[in-house]
Amino acid sequence: MTSFRSFPFFVFAVLFGALLAVTAGLDAQPPQAPGSETPSVLPPDINGAAETPQAAPESAALPESSRTALDAGKPDSLELTPEQEDQLFQITKVIYQVPPTRSGGGDAEIVEIPLSLYEALSQIQSGAERLAAVESYWSLRSKIANLNIETHIKESAEKASGILGQATVDTPDFKALMDVYRVYLSSADARIAQLRVEIREGQIDLMRKTRRSTERGWPIPSSTPWYGNYSLQSEAAQSRSFELASESILIPEKIRAGYASGFSLGAPENLFSPEISTFERIDDGYLYLKTLENKRLAALGYVRVLESLNNSIARYVGAYSSSIDSRTFVNCLIGSEEE
């Protein structure tokens, strides 16, 4: 006689398998937030509007908010107060001051002209070439900022050395202090000379990558790099590319590093010139020089962070959409095509 004991178990197995298939199908659906708006990938343009590049048709739906993944525990970690924003603006303005547009002298005089980021990219549409040109642009901009820093620090050291030189002290300790200042100033001269060579190399590299010639003068980048918070479209869970996802993680970290580095410089009004009228002790002379060196290193660090941040922003925008025109691309990078 045939047994039917296994039939209930068979029915149960079939129903359980069907339930698992339905559950897996539901899990594969991307989470949707009814009525939610997709945040903009771009900073506001010069008119205060935001332009969003169109995603490719095959692209996956984008998650709602990058903060959910990047700043879950610190919702305000990338925000600045108005006072902090103004301080960082003033610091950046001093460090990235555009130098005079003419250098050299006599037969060796070189005409240098300000070059905005939009002008630099106006003849380039290819994604890879455009990214290479942007990196060259920010690299040269950083070298010019470094030259400003080194020049300001040298001027402050010269002022301190002049005040020390007015003293009538003639002791071994005082002579040793003066020797330290002479070595420091000689080192500053060497760094400045090297930076001038690197700037000229950077100008040649930028002209090659932007298809320019020296007929209109040597380019001096005039656009200020992005130094504040940057609005990101979230790519935390369903990125269309690894590069897009990685830069969406790196950019907030670099912004925080920029904040820490910038605010470590102190008040903008005495960024490179700590107050000094006289030295009461030998140790005061050493302390002043140490303070100058710390300021120099902090300022150079700030420039490095901003160069890295702006390169990340360029890679992020390029990965988001490589087909946008140069004007929109620049708006994505610096928020405006105007100086």
Report the pLDDT averaged over residues 209-218: 82
Q: What is the pLDDT of residue 100?
A: 63
Rounded to whole angstroms, the Cα distance separating 93 from 53 reads 30
* All residues at 6 or more sequence positions from 62 whose CB lies less than 8 Å from its CB, including other chains: 38, 55, 233, 234, 235, 238
pLDDT tier, 170 (very low <50, low <70, confident <90, very high otherwise): confident
Question: Does pLDDT of 305 surpass 60?
Answer: yes
Question: Does pLDDT of 232 surpass 70?
Answer: yes
Q: Considering only 6-15, 45-54, 58-67, which range has the smallest mean pLDDT?
A: 58-67
More confident residue, 62 or 334: 334
Residue 324 to residues 10, 51, 55, 123, Cα–Cα distance (Å): 58, 11, 11, 14
Closest CA to 337 of 114, 136, 46: 46
Q: Which residue has the tokens 């470590």?
A: 264
The pLDDT tens digits for 273-284 are: 777 777 888 888
* All residues at 6 or more sequence positions from 59 whose CB lies less than 8 Å from its CB, including other chains: 240
Closest CA to 196 of 260, 144, 134, 248: 144
pTM equals: 0.74
Helical axes 282-320 vs 82-95, angle rounded to 10°: 100
pLDDT tier, 212 (very low <50, low <70, confident <90, very high otherwise): confident
| Main-chain phi, psi angles of 219, to 5 degrees | -75, 140
pLDDT tier, 158 (very low <50, low <70, confident <90, very high otherwise): very high
Residue 197 to residues 96, 120, 186, 227, Cα–Cα distance (Å): 19, 21, 17, 27
Q: Which element (helix H / strand E) includes 112?
A: strand 110-115
More confident residue, 249 or 32: 249
Q: Is 131 helix (H, G, I), strand (E, B) or coil?
A: helix
Q: What is the pLDDT of residue 200?
A: 93
Question: Does pLDDT of 267 surpass 60?
Answer: yes
Rounded to whole angstroms, the Cα distance separating 81 from 201 reads 39
Q: Is 333 helix (H, G, I), strand (E, B) or coil?
A: helix
DSSP 240: S
The pLDDT tens digits for 75-125 are: 345 888 899 999 999 999 999 987 665 554 444 456 788 999 999 998 887
Mode of pairing for the β-strands spanning 218-221 and 110-115 = parallel
